[in-house]
Structure 1
């Protein structure tokens, strides 16, 4: 490359050949938003040529080899053009996340948010199924990424899968619950989520009711707001300021925020500003943990390219059918017959029937937050 064509730091140069590099796995949080910011922050890098910047972004990525850890004891891949992605948020208590997550800097982590994204054949539509972290489930025996085997357990909370065996145990547990193979795994951390929202210039939402939750440091009056990163993080974490104070109510807020974020990305100028694009991509790749099949910028570009046609209007978001546990109102149990309808629909690449979620526990926070 000539001196005249050398890109300035932060601005991709034209015609630069991509290189490949991977970095070992790590942990992160808040990947529930990956369908939105990956498309905005990484997608167009495929057409810009990024040279050493590409190498730098590739080096930011952290990966975990789900396939090797779990081996052949998994549901079979379904070759119908659809994809299933487990998007996990871990409540990590270390490093930059200590202040955001609360508690001590002990390095512990729990799966705070879990969503299965099913991308339908043709990649024009998607369904998202949130799994409440307080769901009591039977956790299968599983190996973590280091090869350590963890014994099966009965009647434990869903988020114990991640805290016990990390990403691989979480994937194993979801596949055991659903009978569906997870094609990919994605994760984002607390601090990265907050920074990404700030770099996007905030996200516009409308609250139909006031939200005041001291634990999540969120105080919003009813009306339209442009949330910065700290406020957005407070919104997707709040559970005491809306509905019945359950995790189910928080899930409804998270789902509404994801839709608002997707709409927001379509309005900001990341595609016309190379500097803004690079900043987003740099933050995103530092924040994300992916399965090894997605563990390069090239792979993420291809993945995001397949999602770019999906907007919030073509994304149905539901919560896994559950009922309140009669013996403990702070826990929920799977409504097995209705949940089976959901998993069968996804397995067959069909829409989730309305009957699958009718009459199940909701958390009473629906409609509190909408896109502006």
Structure 2
């Protein structure tokens, strides 16, 4: 079984995300690798859907925590565990709000592992057995600090990103940093590497990971009794003269209750929707419908049913070790039921086509950055909450470290400036560290110097770092001189003196760009956001797959 990274607790999301309808064995696998990787048999969709379904199941395990501590002692024997972070991750925990609460983030990873007879039968060729798994489904579950709202954010598997250096905790093998599609991160030592990749991309600290393969999906059968889905036109996802493969999904226009094989077909359909991001949207629609269905059924009052589901799912579950005990899962589960359906938002990272490869994607610059900032600042993705009078961003500012007096004069302080403006889509800005070192010198920091060795570094958000408490006031003064918010002054042992790391959010100008605090519900239009209470969502069918 493979690992996958997920941290955090999920609200009402957990109530519905976990019950995947019965999925029969499928002969093909849907797997995509970069050039040089061996080809795979079968459709990519099949494996992704199974992975997605399996990923969804992980949430139900958390929900079953209410079945009792003693039962979790039994379930704990089924659960495999792994290290939370095995990569070079740089994200830091969010500051607490005025009530001392912090958000909770869990990374759900659907693995395509074929390291068992059962998993091979579910759609993979025998020669896949033993090969490193890919994380073809990756979804961040964000639970707000006040536990009143939640978000589910997917990144398409073919998004090209920076994957940091990772070390396999079992073998000690070191995987060097690379730039490739995100689903390959799981094969570079396990879920801890995927977690580190997400943290470096988003700047969001992820508390836990959960990885699940899809051998348990079939065992979930028709437990939920069906989920409503909708298509605007007749759809048949089949092989065509131009494109092989297909899920086999065939239904007439309108709303249908799908279960068993048909539900699996819905989840693995890609061609009929037109793209991987649209498949994620269809999966979000299914997930939201499942949440509403489960809430309507009061499934969590049926102890016997929950025990059966938990038994099946935990046998396919791997979690980060800090949540791998019955009590911690119990505590986690207790936080997952408070979010109402209309406070749950599911969406896909805004993306654009990769100019290097039309089959790959890149984060959509400012739109993706807005999304990550909302997560970091714990700004609700919906507008249905009561106004609190202060945004998540302001809470973070209030929680910033108190100001201290500098220990030395500006002229006596050495400041190292590093250029970390590179992004997956854009090269680093030439001379950026030198330009800001000169700006600091003009403001009296004559000891400021550019670190030319870091031009290949990539950091999403500019930060002023310092190594010890005696330099806190000096770091704060440097930030103030350039207009950098106090919340972006961080203590870390990774530097030996005050260090300005210029991120991709500051690619030009000598004064840090002022950013208006994001407001609740102000999401990028290309995020395909869906509210959990929206029952009118319906998929548009791509022309060649209508009948």
Per the shorter chain, which TM-score range? 0.7 to 0.9
Find the partner of 1:219 among 245, 250, 256. 250
Structure 2 CA distance for partners of 1:94 and 1:341, relative to 1, 3 Å: same
Structure 1 residue 355, shift from structure 2 partner: 5.9
Secondary structure at the aligned position of 1:165 is classed as coil
Task: Say how many residue pairs are matched.
Answer: 332
- The alpha-carbon deviation at position 356 of structure 1 amounts to 4.9
The alignment partner of 1:368 has SS state of coil
Given that 1:110 and 1:162 are in contact with CA atoms closer than 8 Å, whether structure 2 keeps it comes out as: yes
Equivalent residue number for residue 233 of structure 1? 264
Which secondary structure state, in structure 1, belongs to the residue aligned with residue 197 of structure 2?
Answer: helix
Query: Is there any run of 5+ residues in structure 2 with no aligned partner, and where?
Result: 5-50, 97-101, 239-245, 382-517, 530-536, 541-547
For the residues of structure 2 that align with 1:220 and 1:229, how far apart are their CA atoms? 14
Q: Is residue 162–residue 170 contact of structure 1 (8 Å, CA) maintained in 2?
A: yes
* Secondary structure of 2:337 counterpart: coil
2 CA distance for matches of 1:360 and 1:200? 29
- Look up the match of 2:323: 294
Are residues 1:135 and 2:164 paired? no
1:45 aligns with 2:212: no
How far the C-alpha of 1:35 sits from its partner, in A, is 7.2
Residues 145 and 168, structure 1, Cα contact 8 Å, conserved in 2 = no
Q: CA deviation at 1:204?
A: 2.9
Q: TM-score, normalised by structure 2?
A: 0.56
Deviation at 1:286, TM superposition (A): 1.6
1:153: how far off?
1.1
For residues 528 and 228 of structure 2, the distance between their equivalents in structure 1, rounded to whole angstroms, comes to: 28
Distance in 2 between the 1:99 and 1:225 partners? 28
Structure 2 equivalent of residue 148 of structure 1: 173
Q: Deviations over 1:75-100 (max 9, x none)?
A: 22224321111111112233222233
Q: Are 2:147 and 1:126 equivalent residues in the alignment? A: no
Q: Which secondary structure state, in structure 2, belongs to the residue aligned with residue 200 of structure 1?
A: coil
CA distance change for structure 1 residues 211 and 299 in 2, over 3 Å: closer, same or farther?
farther
Q: Which runs of 5+ in 1 are unaligned?
A: 1-24
Distance in 2 between residues matched to 1:221 and 1:297, nearest whole Å = 45
Equivalent runs, 1:195-274 vs 2, <5 Å? 195-196=219-220, 198-214=222-238, 215-242=246-273, 244=274, 246-268=275-297, 270-274=299-303
Does residue 345 of structure 2 align to residue 178 of structure 1? no
Alignment deviations for residues 265-321 of structure 1 (CA, whole Å, 9 cap, x no partner): 113353343321211121122232211122123222211211101243211112111
Q: Secondary structure at 2:307's aligned position in 1?
A: helix
Moved more, 272-281 or 351-360: 351-360
Decide whether the 8 Å contact of 2:222 with 2:260 is kept in 1. Answer: yes
| Counterpart secondary structure, 2:137 | strand
3-state SS, counterpart of residue 92 of structure 1: coil
Q: 1:323 to 1:355 in 2, by over 3 A?
A: farther
Q: Equivalents in 1 of 2:344, 2:119: separation in Å?
A: 30
Between the aligned partners of 2:526 and 2:258, the Cα distance in structure 1 is 32
Runs (4+) off by over 6 Å: none
1:318 aligns with 2:347: yes
Superimposed CA distance per residue, residues 299-344 of structure 1 (whole angstroms, 9 cap, x where no aligned partner) = 2221121110124321111211111123433211111222111111
- Contact kept, 8 Å, 1:204 with 1:224, in 2: the verdict is yes
Deviation at 1:141, TM superposition (A): 1.0
* Matching of residue 164 in structure 1 with residue 180 in structure 2: no
Greater relative contact order (CA < 8 Å, ≥ 6 in sequence): 1
Query: Structure 1 pair 305/360, CA: closer, same or farther in 2 (3 Å)?
Result: closer
Question: 1:38 deviation in Å?
Answer: 3.1
Selected match of 2:90 from 50, 71, 74: 74
Any idea what the Cα deviations from partners look like across 1:130-149, whole Å, max 9, x if unmatched? Answer: 10111111211111232321
From 80, 91, 94, the counterpart of 2:112: 91
* Larger CA Rg, structure 1 vs 2: 2
Distance 2:340 2:221 in 1: 18
